[in-house]
Amino acid sequence: MAEAEEQESGSLEESTDESEEEESEEEPKLKYERLSNGVTEILQKGAASCMTVHDKFLALGTHYGKVYLLDVQGNITQKFDVSPVKINQISLDESGEHMGVCSEDGKVQVFGLYSGEEFHETFDCPIKIIAVHPHFVRSSCKQFVTGGKKLLLFERSWMNRWKSSVLHEGEGNIRNVKWRGHLIAWANNMGVKIFDISSKQRITNVPRDDISLRPDMYPCSLCWKDSVTLIIGWGTSVKICSVKERHASEMRDLPSRYVEIVSQFETEFYISGLAPLCDQLVVLSYVKEVSEKSEREYCARPRLDIIQPLSETCEEISSDALTVRGFQENECRDYHLESSEGESLFYIVSPRDVVVAKERDQDDHIDWLLEKKKYEEALMAAEISQKNIKRHKILDIGLAYINHLVEKGEYDTAARKCQKILGKNATLWEYEVYKFKEIGQLKAISPYLPRGDPVLKPLIYEMILHEFLESDYEGFATLIREWPGDLYNNSVIVQAVRDHLKKDSQNKTLLKTLAELYTYDKNYGNALEIYLTLRHKDVFQLIHKHNLFSSIKDKIVLLMDFDSEKAVDMLLDNEDKISAESQSNTGHYLVTGSLCERQAACMQKKEVTSQERKRGSRSCTSIKKVVEELEDRPELQHVYLHKLFKRDHHKGQRYHEKQISLYAEYDRPNLLPFLRDSTHCPLEKALEICQQRNFVEETVYLLSRMGNSRSALKMIMEELHDVDKAIEFAKEQDDGELWEDLILYSIDKPPFITGLLNNIGTHVDPILLIHRIKEGMEIPNLRDSLVKILQDYNLQILLREGCKKILVADSLSLLKKMHRTQMKGVLVDEENICESCLSPILPSDAAKPFSVVVFHCRHMFHKECLPVPSMNSPAQYCNICSAKNRGPGSAILEMKK
C-alpha cells in the first residue's frame, strides 16, 4: 500500500506508529491535500463535527455549535452561530441556496442563504440528522426531514405553514439520512429503510448484519450513486442496492418499487464513509491494530481505498494510509467522507483535520514518474498529453532525463536522447556538449550532433575532432567522412593532422583523412598525391569528379602501377583533357542576308573540320606525353599502346614499330593479330624481330604479306610440319605454283599425301597428285581419301547442274517480265517534255506534222533532238540512260577533254 503523506507549512502531528511501510512501485490513484487557510484557524479553536459539500462551496459544522461556509480553498466566506453545542448535520439543496442545520440540543434550522425565508424549531431530544429536499428551491418541493428518536417529514402547506408527519419510529435513534430525487434512505439501530416520497410508501428494509457493533460508535454510511442505486456501508459490510420498478401484474398491495441487492461483500476494516467513483467505490476505513510490544489495540491511521465491487467480493485498486491530525484519539464515528460529484473530489473530515483527495491528473502522474526516476516514461507521458499538462514542460523533463542518464553513467543513451529532446535548440546543444566535455565524454555525443538544422558554432565541432585526433584516429576519420566540411574551420583541422603526421608519418588513416580534408578545401593536387601514395581505390573517382586530368601528367606511372586497366581506360577516355590546354580559337562567322546558304554551310563545314583537327592534335599530344612518361616502364607502355590500338588502329600509328618489340617481349599471343590489323608497322622490321625470336607463325604471315609465299610455305612444311596449315595457306594464296611446291614437298611423305588427297579436290585436279605417287608406297587411309575425292567431284557436278537450272529459270522469268513491260502502252500528253530541249513533247498546233521517239525507259525526245545514227551503230539509244551506263565520272572526263 502506498502511504499518502500530506505536507504543509505548519508542522504535522507525528504518528505514534514508528514503523513505516515501504513505498510501493504502484502509482497511487489519488492525491491528497490538507484543506488549510480558514479551516486551519477554525480547527485550532474547535473541532469539526460534520461537513457537507456543494460544487460551489463547503459547509463545516463544529462541536461548538458554529457553521462556516468556505470556498474550495478553505477560506471562510460566512459564519453562523446556530447553537452552543455540537452541530450534528448540515444539509444543502442542489442549488446551494438553502441550508438545513440540526444540533445536539434539539435545534433545527432551515433557511435561505440568499433569501429571508427561515424555519426554526427546537425539539426535546437531540436531532441527529437533517435532509432538505434536493429541489427545495422550488415552491412545490418545500420539504425536509429530521431524525432523532423518530423520522419526521416537514412540508409547507399552501398557507405557508409547516406541518409535520412521522415517517418512522420505534427502532431507536435515526443515525443517517440521504435524499435523492423522490427517494429517502435512512438508517436506525435496526437497519436501513427507503421511502418513496412520491407514493408515500416505504419500499424496503435492509437489516444490518453485525448487531454486536454499537450503532452510535460504528454508524451506518449511506450514499446514492445515482437516482436508483444506494450504497450501504455498516461495520465491515458493503451492500449495493438497486431500486427497481415492480411489474403491474405483481403490484397487488405491494409498493410500486422494490429493492434488489446487486452486490454484497466484506471489507478488512470498519467503514466510516462511502463515495462512488465511476464504476468503483471510494471507502474511508477506520483501522485498529495491535501493538507488537504491548499487545494492546490502538487507533491507526485511517485508510482511503478504491475498490472494484463484484457480485460477492471486491478487488482492491489502491489503498492509502492517511496521517490526519489526532488520528490516535479518533473513533470510527469521528470520520466522515463527503464528495463533490462534479469534480471527483473527496473530503476526509476528522475532528481536527480536513483532507481533500482528488483524482491524479497527468501532471501528478508525471510527478510520480519523476519521483520514481522513470524519466523516459515521464517524457513519453508529457508528449502524449502535452495539451493537458499545466505544471510541466517537455523540455524540462527531457533535460532532467539527460542529467539522470549522465549520473548513471549511461553516456551513449544520454547523447542519443539529446537528438529528440534538444531538437533544433542550438544553445542547449552547445550547453550539453560542454557538459559532456567536463565529464570527458565528448566521443559519446559526437555521432548525434546536428549537422544541418541547426548548425552549432565551429568551435564545438573542432573541439570534438581534436578529442578524437588525440585518442582515436579511426573515429576521427569517420567524423571527417560523415560531417560536411563547412561545419568547422578546415585549415585548423588540416594543420592539426599535419602536426600528428610529424610524429607518425606513415599512418595510413591520418594520410587518407588528410587527403579528404584537402578535397574539402579544393586542394585536389595534394589530395591526389596522397591517394596515389596510399594506392587508394577512390583516386580515379577523385580525378573524374574534380576534373584533375591536367594534374596527372607526371603521375601516370603511379596510376598505372596502382591499376593499369583503370588508368589506361581513363587516359584514353580523356585524351583531350590530359593534353596541354590551349586557347579555343573557334571562329565565328556572321552570315548576312546577302550571303547564300551554300556559302554559310561551307564555312560551317570548314569550322567543324578545323575543330576536329584541333582535337586530333590534342589527342596526339596526349598519347605522346603518356608514351614518354612510360618510357622507363615498357611493360606499362605496352599495356597502354595495346589498348590504344584496340580502340583505334590508326591513332598510335607512329608507335607501331615500337609495339612490335613490346608485343614480342610481353604479349606474344597478340602479336599476330596486331600484325594482321596494323597497316602502319614496317614489315621488314617485324620480320627481323620475328626471325630473331624464331616466331614461326608470325614469320610465315609476314613472308606471305611481303609476297614471298613460297618461302612462307616452305617454313610451314619444314618448321611446323603441319600439312593442314600448309593446305590452308595454299588455299588462301590461290596460286598454282604454291600447289605445285606443296605437291613436290609432300610426294615422298605418305601422311602429307593423305592430307592433300582429302583437301586438294576443290582447287587442283587430283589426277596430277595421283599420277606422281610412286608404286608400292603405302598411304594411310588411301581408300577413304579416294572415296572423298569422288564424292567431292560428284558434289561439284551436282552444284553446277543446280546452279544452271536456277540461272535458266531466273533468265526466263526476267525475260517474261521485260516482255510484259515493253508491251505496255506509254501515255504521251501535253505535260510531257523532251528530255533534250526541255520543251513540251507535243506541239501546240496539232495540225502540224511532228515526230516523237519514246524509249522503253519512258524518256521522250523530239526526233530532231536525237543524234543521227551512224553507219556502225544504226540503232538509237536514250541519251540519259546511255550516259548512266557509261559509269561514274565518264561524263566529267568527256567535259574535260
Across the chain, mean pLDDT equals 82
Residue 339: pLDDT over 70? yes
Residue 892: pLDDT over 50? no
DSSP 116: S
Per-residue pLDDT band for 772 (boundaries 50, 70, 90) equals low
Q: What is the mean pLDDT of residues 828-833?
A: 87
Joined grid coordinates for residue 305: 481505498
Q: What is the mean pLDDT of residues 554-565?
A: 77
Report the Cα–Cα distance between both ends of the chain, in Å, rounded.
Answer: 130
pLDDT of residue 769: 63
8 A C-beta contact, residue 397 and residue 382: yes
pLDDT of residue 23: 47
pLDDT of residue 16: 33
CA 395 to chain centre: 25
Range with the poorest average pLDDT among 9-23, 256-270, 310-324, 576-590: 9-23
Burial of 546 (0-12, 13-18, 19+ CB in 10 A): middle
Angle 474-480-482 (CA atoms, 0-180°, nearest 5)? 100
8 A C-beta contact, residue 42 and residue 62: yes
Task: Please give the full DSSP string across 743-760, using - where no structure is assigned.
Answer: HHHHTT-HHHHHHHHHHG
Joined grid coordinates for residue 135: 429541489
pLDDT of residue 545: 73
Rounded Cα distance between 833 and 860, Å, is: 7
Full 3-state SS string of 598-666: HHHHHHHHHHHHHHHHHHHHHHHHHHHHHHHHCCCCHHHHHHHHHHHHHHCCCCCHHHHHHHHHHHHHH
pLDDT of residue 652: 81
| pTM for the model | 0.57
Calculate what percentage of the chain has a pLDDT beyond 90.
31
Joined grid coordinates for residue 84: 452552543
H/E run at residue 336: strand 336-340
Residue 889: pLDDT over 60? no
pLDDT of residue 539: 75
Burial of 123 (0-12, 13-18, 19+ CB in 10 A): middle
8 A C-beta contact, residue 103 and residue 91: no
Residue 537: pLDDT over 50? yes
Per-residue pLDDT band for 811 (boundaries 50, 70, 90) equals very high
Q: What is the mean pLDDT of residues 600-607?
A: 52
Pick 125 or 844 by higher pLDDT.
Answer: 125
For 714, phi then psi, to 5°, come to -60, -40
8 A C-beta contact, residue 98 and residue 111: yes
8 A C-beta contact, residue 421 and residue 431: no
Rounded Cα distance between 342 and 703, Å, is: 118
Per-residue pLDDT band for 282 (boundaries 50, 70, 90) equals very high
Angle 38-80-222 (CA atoms, 0-180°, nearest 5)? 80
Rounded Cα distance between 131 and 110, Å, is: 10
8 A C-beta contact, residue 623 and residue 652: yes
Calculate what percentage of the chain has a pLDDT beyond 70.
85
For 25, phi then psi, to 5°, come to -80, -10
For the chain, the domains span 38-274, 361-456
Percent of the chain as helix, strand, coil, to the nearest 5: 45, 20, 35
Rounded Cα distance between 405 and 416, Å, is: 11
pLDDT, one tens digit per residue, over 93-104 is: 999 999 999 999
Residue 9: pLDDT over 50? no
8 A C-beta contact, residue 706 and residue 687: yes
pLDDT of residue 83: 92
pLDDT, one tens digit per residue, over 297-325 is: 889 999 999 999 998 899 999 999 999 99
8 A C-beta contact, residue 166 and residue 150: yes
pLDDT of residue 619: 62
Burial of 513 (0-12, 13-18, 19+ CB in 10 A): buried
Sole residue written with cell 513505516: 20
CATH number, domain 361-456: 1.25.40
Q: List, in sequence order, the alpha helices (H) in 441-523.
A: 442-445, 458-471, 473-482, 490-503, 508-520
pLDDT of residue 771: 63
Per-residue pLDDT band for 17 (boundaries 50, 70, 90) equals very low
Range with the poorest average pLDDT among 137-141, 677-681, 725-729: 725-729
Interhelix angle 750-759/782-823, nearest 10 degrees: 20
Angle 186-191-195 (CA atoms, 0-180°, nearest 5)? 40
Residues 6+ apart with CB under 8 A from 794: none
For 761, phi then psi, to 5°, come to -60, -30
Residues 6+ apart with CB under 8 A from 248: none
Rounded Cα distance between 669 and 532, Å, is: 32
Per-residue pLDDT band for 779 (boundaries 50, 70, 90) equals confident
Q: What is the mean pLDDT of residues 369-395?
A: 88
Among 260-264, 495-499, 859-863, name the most confident range. Answer: 260-264
Sole residue written with cell 501515255: 827
DSSP 190: S
Joined grid coordinates for residue 731: 588455299
pLDDT, one tens digit per residue, over 211-238 is: 889 998 999 999 999 999 999 999 999 9
8 A C-beta contact, residue 325 and residue 35: no
8 A C-beta contact, residue 743 and residue 773: no
Residues in the chain: 897
Interhelix angle 723-733/736-746, nearest 10 degrees: 160
Q: Which residues of 827-854 are buried (b: 16+ CB within 10 A; e: fewer)?
A: eeeeebebbbeeeebbeeeeeeeeeebb
Beta strands 345-350 and 303-309, pairing class: unpaired
Q: Specify the 3-state DSSP secondary structure of 165.
A: strand
Residue 714: pLDDT over 90? no
Cis peptide preceding 766, ω within 30 of 0: no
With CA atoms as reference, report the closest residue to 39 among 54, 58, 52: 58
Residue 429: pLDDT over 80? yes
With CA atoms as reference, report the closest residue to 155 among 167, 138, 142: 142
Q: What is the mean pLDDT of residues 344-358?
A: 94
pLDDT of residue 556: 78
pLDDT of residue 583: 35
Residue 90, CA distances (Å) to 60, 61, 62, 255, 365 in order: 8, 7, 11, 31, 35
Residue 115: pLDDT over 80? yes
> Thinking of the domain 38-274, which architecture would CATH place it in?
7 Propeller (2.130)
Residues 6+ apart with CB under 8 A from 446: 464, 467, 468, 475, 479
H/E run at residue 62: strand 58-62
Sole residue written with cell 597497316: 679
Angle 483-489-494 (CA atoms, 0-180°, nearest 5)? 85
Sole residue written with cell 608404286: 775
